[in-house]
Amino acid sequence: MNSLNSSPAAQPFCSLNRLCIAVAVGLIGLGSNAAFAETTLYVAGVGGSTEQMYKTKVIPAFEKQHNVKVIYVAGNSTETLAKLQAQKGRQQINVAMMDDGPMYQALQMGLCGKLSDAPVYKDLYPLARLSPEATGIGVVATGIGYNADAFKKRGWTPPDSWENLTDPRYKQLLGMPPVTNTYGLHTLVEMARLRGGGEKNIDPGFKALKDEIGPNVLAWVSAPGEMDGMMQNGDVVMAVYGSGRAVALQSTGFPLKFIYPKEGGIALQVAACGVTPNAQPELSQAFIQYVLSPEVQTIQAKENGFAPVNQTVTLAPEIAARMPYGPEKVNALIKVDWDTINQQRSEWTTRWNRTVER
């Protein structure tokens, strides 16, 4: 039976039809891919438990609400800052979340764009507004952690002051972070203040750490996990701790007590900014505002010990007790002058290595 396909004269027409159909199908495919192409937002933040919290508890709802794929770029704050510096002018990261010290460095380098105005910013504690370009999204306090059982066994009164770090009874029983760690840097500044100096006159702080606190120190430990291990092994009975880190150790059942020294605990904020230049400026601003919402602020408090910077958040008493929660505690936190510190930090690190931690 003859057909169009079997007719020799028709073969060129037939081939052309096949080609047209193939091209048409290809174009439809391209159109379909374009229609369903997913917008991507790159968010940089610390790894570990914070990364898992964001990936499982925070990001999915934002993705659904904004029809966007959020890629979490994990790294500590100094690593994130280094990435922003390396990519300056051609940024791949859209939102950066870092500790306040590195964030102030990013601000000085012009790596952050201005925050868009939004109602949620009116709900924040004053300390959360770092600048027009960056906001705190959670806060912990640097204070003192101690082994309650070890103190009770020895009949010791619990610590209540930064000055307790100098008490000879703790000789070789004190764990201290070095000044390359934010907790250690906070201690350096606070001891300088208590000795008549401060960020602009750090000499008294170095002298106090070397001559007064140094004899009590068993080890200068920068890794939080290592400090936890020394506490659990009984090698040290007291250490400078962060309130969030204390929660992690307390959750294991260890009898760690965290105190805000009477002179004040020191504020350590996790901060966020929209990076500039930014391929997704509106989504970046939306993500930061979302993290500041009462819902996400509550998740961060429950899961990771980040105290809310949003004043409208209500926490259960057992959660609130773990962190600097509420106006009284938040407003009592000491803030350090990061602009001054960052100008001298490399010099302080060199001095530290030469004179204290040798």
Which pLDDT tens digit goes with each residue over 207-234? 999 999 999 999 998 888 899 999 999 9
Give the residue among 94, 96, 59, 57 at the shortest CA–CA distance from 78. Answer: 96
Instruction: Look at 67-71, 242-246, 279-283, 323-327 and tell me which has the smallest mean pLDDT.
Output: 242-246
Q: pLDDT averaged over the chain?
A: 90
Q: In the chain, what's the furthest Cα-to-Cα distance? A: 108
Residue 119: per-residue pLDDT: 97
Q: Which amino acid is at 320?
A: A
Give the residue among 353, 42, 14 at the shortest CA–CA distance from 184. Answer: 353
One-character DSSP codes across 212-226: IIGGGEEEE---HHH
300-313: pLDDT as tens digits: 999 988 999 999 99
Torsion angle, alpha carbons of 298, 100, 104, 114, to 10: 0
Residue 186 predicted with pLDDT over 70: yes
Residue 10 predicted with pLDDT over 70: no
- Copy the structure tokens of residue 320: 């609130």
Phi and psi dihedrals of 269, rounded to 5?
Answer: -100, 145
Residue 109: per-residue pLDDT: 96
Helix axes 182-194, 338-355, angle to 10 degrees: 100
- Copy the structure tokens of residue 344: 């001298």
Q: Are 39 and 70 in contact (CB under 8 A)?
A: no
Residue 37: per-residue pLDDT: 54
When pLDDT is cut at 50, 70 and 90, the band that residue 11 belongs to is very low
269-325: pLDDT as tens digits: 999 999 999 999 999 999 999 999 999 999 999 998 899 999 999 999 999 999 999
- Copy the structure tokens of residue 66: 């904004």
In the chain, what are the domains? 39-139+269-322 (3.40.190.10), 140-267+339-355 (3.40.190.10)
Q: How many CB atoms lie within 10 A of CB 8?
A: 6
Q: What 3-state class would DSSP assign to 62?
A: helix
Q: How many CB atoms lie within 10 A of CB 115?
A: 21
3-state helix, strand, coil in the chain (%, to 5): 50, 20, 30
CA distance 93 to 74: 11
Residue 339 predicted with pLDDT over 60: yes
When pLDDT is cut at 50, 70 and 90, the band that residue 245 belongs to is confident
- Helices and strands of the chain, counted as H and E runs: 15, 9
When pLDDT is cut at 50, 70 and 90, the band that residue 351 belongs to is very high
Q: Which amino acid is at 52?
A: Q
- Copy the structure tokens of residue 261: 């020294």
Beta strands 266-274 and 134-147: pairing type? antiparallel
When pLDDT is cut at 50, 70 and 90, the band that residue 31 belongs to is very low
Residue 237 predicted with pLDDT over 70: yes
Which neighbouring-strand residues pair with 135? 129, 272
Indicate the DSSP class of residue 122: G
Q: Which amino acid is at 338?
A: W
Long-range contacts formed by 16-25: CB under 8 A, 24+ apart: none
3-state secondary structure 8-56: HHHHHHHHHHHHHHHHHHHHHHHHHHHHHCCEEEEEEECCHHHHHHHHH
Residue 238 predicted with pLDDT over 80: yes
Residue 6 predicted with pLDDT over 70: no
Indicate the DSSP class of residue 355: H
pTM of the model: 0.81
Q: Are 355 and 206 in contact (CB under 8 A)?
A: yes
CA distance 28 to 39: 20
% of the chain beyond a pLDDT of 90:
80
When pLDDT is cut at 50, 70 and 90, the band that residue 27 belongs to is very low
97-143: pLDDT as tens digits: 999 999 999 999 999 999 999 999 999 999 999 999 999 999 999 99
CA distance 245 to 50: 12
Residue 7: per-residue pLDDT: 40
Residue 223: per-residue pLDDT: 82
Beta strands 95-99 and 238-242: pairing type? unpaired
